[in-house]
Amino acid sequence: MAAALENELEVDNEDYYSLLNVRREATQEELKSSYRRLCMLYHPDKHRDPELKRQAEQLFTYVHQAYEVLSDPQSRAIYDIFGKKGLEVEGWEVVERKRTPAEIREEYERLQRERDERRLQQRTNPKGTISVGIDATDLFDRYEEDFEDAPGGGFPHIDINRMHISQSIEAPLTTSDTAVLSGSLSTRNGNGGGNINLCVRRVTSARGWGELEFAAGDIRGPLFGMKVFRNVTARCFVTAQWGLQFSSHGVRPSATTMMARHLDQNTMGYLQWRWGSQSAMTTSIVRDTKTSHFTLALQLGVPHSYLMMSYQYKFQDEDQTKVKGSIKTGSLAPWLNTVQSARSVATVFWLQPSALVYPKESPSKSG
């Protein structure tokens, strides 16, 4: 019996017909008869020796897998055409049961293409956003006395004043190096431009990484930068970034450092210092849960200082729709905006009724 089991273990476990000891044209009755006979022969309970019991369990599993495939007409047709690898393709469970060999081959090729596309998407990790800015000042704050006699003055004027589109992809170079290519186009009040960015990132250890960046565009001149990341403790990390911006006015250096710490499971605290054309010190608290995202930030700097608070609600639907509202006040004119986005279409709609919190000037009384 031991010799017989050892000989059976040498059988190719991918040839299901050989495992069941039947011909390829075997009927369902022949398959069932052979399966029952082999189950009785290889059942683990019939062997007391530990090694023989282990071998019997392995053969019993092989026989059971082979019978499950060959006893199902569709699985058998797929196996006859593509072999065992064809059964490993995801998506067969939703395919109509009654298919001809030609239809099964077409379906297999389609599923293979979908799997290859998913693998490519996982490797390149494409990301894209579309942002549209809408000036709804006239909707919230109108000078009715100025529009009483104007044609169409009874309808508020809503203007699209800006738009931004961005896209990025990743390309793994080695197990520790990754290249990231990104680009963006934007327009604001009739003026627009774009830029392209190339970044090479290297993972130096389990606790840190560094990257080199080159960017160019028609809005600003070429930019060379470097960034490093390091985990200080299990709850704290720091980042540092340096850059050189080339323009017709010369070279503008800049530097940014940030320290972050986990305050609890869902809350992070950040302290950032930025030096350059717009130097500032910023501190913020961010709380992110399954259903909401809250941010409170304070910035002191030149020329801008502000206090900002935002709240985002996450709907628990298939598209993972999000609604966000923000309030910001400081040395610049205060503003209020709301954002609604859906991940499935990678879009962001930006509503900015800027005059909602602007102080209204009194009309002059000259003459």
Tens of pLDDT, residue by residue, the chain (367 residues): 545 555 554 555 678 888 888 888 888 999 999 989 888 888 878 777 888 888 888 888 888 888 988 888 878 877 887 777 777 665 544 444 556 667 767 777 777 787 777 777 777 888 888 888 888 777 766 555 554 555 555 677 778 888 999 999 988 888 889 999 999 998 888 888 898 999 999 999 989 999 999 999 876 789 999 999 999 998 999 999 999 998 888 899 999 999 999 999 999 999 999 998 889 999 999 999 999 999 999 999 988 899 999 999 988 777 677 788 888 887 754 445 544 444 333 333 333 333 333 333 444 444 3
Domain ranges for the chain? 2-119, 125-356
Beta strands in 302-365 (DSSP E): 306-314, 322-330, 335-342, 347-352
Task: Give the Å distances, CA to CA, from 309 to 41, 88, 134, 280.
Answer: 72, 50, 21, 18
Element (H, E) at 344: none
Instruction: Give residue 144's pLDDT.
Output: 55
Instruction: Give residue 236's pLDDT.
Output: 96
CATH code for the structural domain at 125-356: 2.40.160.40
**Rounded-to-integer distance, Cα 189 and Cα 192, Å:** 8
Instruction: Give residue 361's pLDDT.
Output: 42
**Rounded-to-integer distance, Cα 134 and Cα 340, Å:** 13
What architecture is domain 2-119?
A: Orthogonal Bundle (1.10)
CB 181 within 8 A of CB 169: yes
Instruction: Give residue 93's pLDDT.
Output: 47
